Amino acid sequence: MNEIGKTPDISFIIQIFENPSKLDFDSDGLFFFNDDGDKIYCPEILTSISEKGEWLSDKLPSIGFDIDQNGNVRKASEAEALYCCTIVSHIIKEESFKNDLNTVANSYNFHDMKPLDINFKSFRDLLIEWQSLQSVIINIIISASKCIDLM
């Protein structure tokens, strides 16, 4: 649920990590288990990221804060990046991703949606850094994360 007017805070990140991810990945790609217990892979993982990523969005946790940040475009961009980075870190489960996320969160002013200091990274900076890794799995997770705020 996208709660209008609610500003995100570090508790959002903590809450996401308290629950297991419904999505996971292995050497064959991203997958989830359906209601029958069958392992369902993201189809055509290398050919159509944006089209095939949308169906994954219903397996992601709800946003829980105002993604649009009352129409403030800069803050909305940061809020979207916060959500995407949290979800990527949660699904990837690598300590380096979690450490990067925590470093940004611990040096961040959530009320103003910007780093505490110009020398610190924003969530948008972190998202761009992770996208530059050119990982298909990361890009699909980001695509699915961006689809959730359209629902």
In percent, how much of the chain has pLDDT > 70? 86
User: pLDDT averaged over the chain?
Assistant: 85
Angle, helices 73-92 vs 123-131, to 10°: value is 50
How many other C-beta atoms can be found within 10 angstroms of the C-beta atom of residue 55? 14
Per-residue pLDDT, 55: 64
Q: What is the pLDDT of residues 82-131, one digit of tens each?
A: 999 999 999 999 999 999 999 999 999 999 999 999 999 999 999 999 99
Q: What is the pLDDT of residues 48-62, one digit of tens each?
A: 343 444 467 778 888
Domain parsing of the chain, residue ranges: 10-148
pTM as predicted: 0.86
Distance CA 70, CA 64 (A): 14
